[in-house]
Amino acid sequence: MENWETIVFTTSLLLLVISIGLSPILEEGNTTSTLTLICMVLVAITTVLETLRQQTHNIPSQYKKIHFVVGVFLIISVLIARFFDMMFFVQSIIVGFLVISIIVSMLIVRKTKSVKQFQHLEKSNRIFGIVFLIIVPIFLIHHYGFEQESYSFPTIFLLYFAFIALAARKIHDDLQRLSITSKQLDPNKQQFKNYGLTQREQEIATFLFDGLTYQEITNKLHISLPTVKTHASNIYKKCSVKNRNELSRLLMI
């Protein structure tokens, strides 16, 4: 199952491409349409979130929250500015927010390693990052620097090419993951020691990693269901995760 960051990121990018295609119809004076600006903010937010999810890093979680809050504030600002004739000012801020978010995300990709679950994407991530860093500034400079020519074929083609490249990479990722999940994966047992799991907790963590339900774990270990749930809760607390998916990602590092 896809994480919500991946789903929202892909959806946001698709909506951005669609909204840019519709912009000649939705154009609001000398500013970009409201829909396009909101999509830009969504892409900026989810680009950072998806990058942080895929890379090993020491960036405090509060920075991710701050970035998210700023994005939500900008979306609200777009809706307010639309009624007070301040769209051009907000538009400039959003473009800056998008460019900075992309640059920061690509720098994170360049400076950090992928978590084990996404190591097969490491090379393509770096290549895609370079391509995106070239295409997005070219489009934005052409769009906002030469407004009357902003919808000429070359620049629109560049952005559509970027999305096609992302879609191709996504298909490749899915095929790679199908290949990986068809093989039996084992958790990184060093993580058991790192987080001080007891022998029983290690057994249950391994079963959770393998995708077994609480009832199936109960049947295998011949212990009560409440006991399994208690052990699982303790495992999540010790590993500072909230659910089985986060635990599985941790045990793959």
**Are 174 and 54 in a shared domain?**
yes
Do 14 and 138 fall into the same domain?
Answer: yes
Residues 14 and 107 in one domain: yes
What CA–CA distance (Å, rounded) separates 125 from 54?
Answer: 10
Quick check: 209 and 235 in contact, CB under 8 A?
no
The residue among 54, 146, 46 whose CA lies nearest residue 98 is 46
CATH code, domain with 214: 1.10.10.10
Q: Which amino acid is at 139?
A: F
Distance CA 209, CA 232 (A): 11
- Neighbour-count burial of 153, counting CB atoms closer than 10 A to its CB (0-12 exposed, 13-18 middle, 19+ buried): exposed
Using only C-alpha atoms, the chain has a radius of gyration, in whole angstroms, of: 22
Q: What is the pLDDT along the chain (253 residues), one digit of tens a residue?
A: 445 666 677 677 777 777 766 665 555 554 557 777 888 888 888 888 888 877 777 778 788 889 999 999 999 988 888 777 777 778 888 888 888 888 888 788 777 776 655 655 556 666 666 666 666 666 666 655 544 444 454 555 555 566 666 656 665 665 555 555 545 567 788 888 888 999 999 999 999 888 788 998 999 899 999 999 999 999 999 988 888 878 887 887 6
Same-domain check for residues 169 and 206: no
On whether the CB atoms of residues 78 and 34 are closer than 8 A, the answer is: yes
The answer to whether 166 and 196 are in contact (CB under 8 A) is: no
Predicted local distance difference test score (pLDDT) of residue 172: 60
Report pLDDT for 81: 82
Q: Do residues 90 and 32 touch, judged by C-beta distance below 8 A?
A: no
Q: Are 70 and 160 members of one domain?
A: yes
Q: Same domain for 160 and 212? A: no
Contacts of 72 (CB under 8 A, 6+ apart): none
Q: Residue 139's pLDDT is what?
A: 63
Q: Which of 161, 181, 201 is a domain's end point?
A: 181
Q: What's the domain count of the chain?
A: 2
The predicted-structure confidence for 163-178, as pLDDT tens digits, reads as follows: 666 656 665 665 555 5
DSSP for 118-178, written as a single string: GGGGHHHHHHHHHHHHHHHHHHHHHHHHSGGGTT-HHHHHHHHHHHHHHHHHHHHHHHHHH
Question: Two tokens at 41?
Answer: 């903010």
Same structural domain for residues 132 and 169?
yes
What pLDDT, on the 0 to 100 scale, is given for residue 246? 81
pLDDT at 236: 92
Boundary (domain end) residue, out of 160, 181, 202: 181
- Give the pLDDT of residue 90: 84
Residues 28 and 79 reside in one and the same domain? yes
Q: What are phi and psi of 122, to 5 degrees?
A: -55, -45
Residues 42 and 113 placed together within one structural domain of the fold: yes
Please state, in angstroms and as integers, the Cα–Cα distance from residue 104 to each residue in 12, 196, 210, following that order: 18, 34, 35
Q: What pLDDT, on a 0 to 100 scale, did the predictor assign at position 30? A: 47
Range of the domain at 88: 4-181
Q: Is 64 helix (H, G, I), strand (E, B) or coil?
A: helix
Rounded-to-integer distance, Cα 241 and Cα 239, Å: 6
- 150 CB-side CA count, 13 A: 18
User: Are 60 and 151 contained in the same domain?
Assistant: yes
Q: Are residues 124 and 226 in the same domain?
A: no
Query: What's the confidence (pLDDT) of residue 250?
Result: 83
Residue type (1 letter), 71: G
Last residue of a domain, one of 181, 205, 232: 181
Q: For the chain, give me the number of helices (H) and strands (E)?
A: 11, 0
Q: For residues 51 and 8, state if they share a domain.
A: yes
